[in-house]
Chains A and B, each alone.
Chain A
Amino acid sequence: MTGAAVVALVLVTVLIGARGVAAMRTTSDFLVASRQTSPLLNAAAVSGEYLSAASFLGVAGLVIKEGTGALWYPVGFTAGYLLMLALVAAPMRRTGALTVPGFAEARLGSARLRRFCAVVVVVIAGLYLVPQFVAAGQLLTLVSDVPYWVGVVVAGAAVSITLALGGMRAATYVQAFQFVLKLLLFAGPAIWLLIVAGPELRGQMAAPPEFTTFTRDTDVDFRLDSTLVLPSPLTVVVDGEPRALTAGPHPALADTRWTFPAGAQVPEVDGERDGLPVPGSTAWGVPLLGSGTDSPLLATWSVLAATALGTMGLPHIIVRFHTAPDGRAARRTAAITVGLLGTFYLFPIVYGLLGTVLTPELYLSAGTDTAVVMLPGRVAGDGLASSIVTALLAAGAFAAFLATSLGLLLALAGALAHDLMPSGLRRLRLSALAAAAVVVTAALFAARIDVSAAVTSSFAVAASTFCPLLVLGIWWPRLTARGALAGMSVGLLAALGAMSLAAVPGSPVPSGGTVGLLLSQPALWSVPLAFVAMITVSLTDHAPPWAEATMLRLHLTDKR
């Protein structure tokens, strides 16, 4: 029942996407017509494109897995628009450039810099896209009982079909509609869940019990090979067959279902939970990230720095601001976006807390990102109402996936086809399809990642490269093309290098310590480093005589 309803709603979502594509115009039409867009409509469109599967599913999942500190992620996602408003929106719009590569060339007059920026766009969009496909794959796997790889491939097919149907970016009003849809499909079920939950469950939400023993017979579906460490001997039912296990490590193979009896002690997961608190424990309840480690403050700050500073460099968002008629409208768009996102992000806490009470076992199988969709069934049982709500949530999550992925794929394809190669519509579409294929392949191997945490790596790269470029380019007349190039290279290499060093299996750096943290979340030091490099190299260089006038123009109200 749920499966059928979800499949129907996924189809509807794809059709909405296709409808948007049908409303597409040619590129130049799109540009001119969109100059009429009002700030409110445009802000809804920005939010619609920005709220991805990471926001819809990932934050609640991270609350279960990492504790209430995970609620800092959406704070950073929202604060990014405050920075956009204060530092970037209006002047960026006045350059007339559609993308950061376009801005770089308009401001600094270097084609080489433009190409380098396009490479950075490809990196950012790629890092952002993979977790979207992972989330979509998990979602489809959950609602239709297919293997993970089928889910990812189906998600890739849905995106490719939508792309192939028309190709170009969805119209502003479709993205704005997407935001309203997502807000309703996220807030509505949250309120319904709170009402249906009843006073006892609501009381537990305020103080979730520590997850040390299974309170009832619990099924855990492993999608990936894992290793469980049992604290004491236990008889577990694996795929219907009872199996007596000794204390110690045991492999749990992919696509098996383990049923733990009520009262059994919860096993540990080998290797993946360094420094992560047990759901419901005291450390879990401390509202800071990394509350189980030595440096919760650094962990929280790193994520906030990456998300807040990285937002302004996201390629699929920047282009949206160009559809504002002028600098002032772009600024208003950013301001309204802060309010719209703030409304949406009032609700992840509901899913996170309910999930910690009702589905804490999901972290054993790295499945916390599916908590949101499982909750209606857990709260209200297998009835028609909960099936409908589950389907609505799944549709909302899929809509989130589709909107963000399409925007990112087109940004990626635009950078490939427009900035790095001779332009052409046909080439643009082919680039988008090729990029989708690459991303789907990457997602197949990345099933273990947390979508919210992985998305943050793309924010870290954006913050370490485009944030200094935009801020200095807009406010500092002495920035030169060479300085920009140097600063962005340093930021890119530092952020990517540190994150790969932390991610390599068998890395010599322990993942729980402060050094490991600064490697896996580098924004706190890589952004200042990029700024320093950009300023230092610019100071040794000579800005061309027109540089100051070019920069000042960005601040000038458009009088003639």
Chain B
Amino acid sequence: MTAPDGPASAPARPAEATDPAVLELARRIRRAQLRRATVTVALGGLLLFGLPVLLLLAPDLAGLRLLGVPGGWLAVAIAPYPLLAGLAWWQLSGAERDERAPDGTDGDGTDRDGTGRRDDEVGRLR
């Protein structure tokens, strides 16, 4: 944030028509990624917003004790973290697969031009 970040002077305006085939590929990837992200966010939302409902509606369930500690406390203090981590893992591997899938090539992970610098700013399109 302290740096001249991105196109500070002129706004990025990739005005020229880009390769229609590339744009079509990008549309496909975006759709696939959006679908997956929606599922992940929905599952995460279900966990975060559903668990409080469960704890409210079923106080007996929350009263169950595990090693002497009330289950409701563990359901808040411990249980969400492995679930969130598992969801994160699922989203990550899926998103990387979606990126590779369309034409079987690698995603943006490799530095193919070998200069060690990557100009992946939007403004590059100009």
- The answer to whether B117 and A32 have CB atoms under 8 Å apart is yes
- Looking at the assembled complex, report how far the CB atom of B18 sits from the nearest CB atom of chain A, in whole angstroms: 5
User: Which chain B residues border A335 with CB–CB below 8 Å?
Assistant: 88-89, 91-92
Contact A287 B73 (CB under 8 A): yes
Residue A392 at the chain B interface, CB threshold 8 Å: no
CB under 8 Å from chain B, chain A span 337-373: 338-339, 342-343, 345-346, 348-349
**CB within 8 A of A97: which of B5, B22, B33?**
B5
* Min C-beta distance of B14 to chain A, whole Å: 5
Contact-residue size bin, chain B (C-beta under 8 Å from the other chain): 35 or more
Interface of B: prevailing SS: helix
Provide the bound-state CA to CA distance between A296 and B68, in Å.
25
Whether the pair A328, B109 counts as a contact (CB closer than 8 A) is yes
Residue of A nearest to B95 (CB): A331
B46-90 contact mask (Cβ, 8 Å, vs A): 1 or 0: 011100110110010010010011101101111011101101110
A96 touches B92 (CB 8 A): no
Query: How many whole Å from B13's CB to the nearest CB in chain A?
Result: 5
Residue A558 lies at the interface, judged by CB distance under 8 Å to chain B: yes
Which residues of chain B are within 8 angstroms of A94 by Cβ–Cβ distance?
A: 108, 120, 122
Is A86 at the interface (CB under 8 A from chain B)? Answer: yes
B120/A558 in contact, CB under 8 A: yes
Q: In the complex, A25→B113 CA distance in Å?
A: 26
CA distance A410 to B23 in the complex (A): 38
Is the pair A410, B2 in contact by a Cβ cutoff of 8 Å?
yes
Tell me if A99 counts as interface (CB < 8 A to partner B): yes
Are A102 and B109 in touch, CB under 8 angstroms? Answer: no
Q: How far is the CA of A343 from the CA of B76 in the complex (A)?
A: 14
Q: Cα distance A105–B9 when bound, in Å?
A: 10
Nearest chain B residue, comparing its CB with the CB of A556: B26
Q: Is the CB of A75 within 8 A of B95?
A: no
9-residue interface stretch from A238-246, A251-259, A411-419: A411-419
* Contact, CB under 8 Å: B1 / A308: no
| A327 CA / B96 CA spacing, docked (Å) | 10
List the B side residues contacting A493 at CB < 8 Å.
none
Shortest A129–chain B CB gap in Å is 15
Chain A residue nearest to B77 in the complex (CB) = A349
Q: How far is the CA of A424 from the CA of B102 in the complex (A)?
A: 45
Q: In the assembly, what is the distance between CA of A464 and CA of B81, in Å?
A: 25
| 9 residue pairs A–B, Cβ–Cβ below 8 Å | A35-B118, A71-B73, A82-B41, A82-B87, A86-B37, A102-B6, A103-B6, A325-B111, A557-B106
Given A82-B87, A557-B106, 8 additional A-B pairs, CB 8 A: A27-B3, A68-B76, A85-B88, A94-B120, A103-B6, A109-B12, A329-B109, A549-B125
Interface residues of A (CB under 8 A from B): 27-28, 30-32, 35, 68-69, 71-72, 75-76, 78-79, 81-83, 85-87, 90, 93-99, 102-103, 105-111, 168-169, 202-203, 205-207, 285-288, 296-297, 300-301, 304, 308, 315, 319, 322, 325-329, 331-332, 334-335, 338-339, 342-343, 345-346, 348-349, 410-411, 413-415, 417-418, 423, 428, 475, 544-546, 548-560
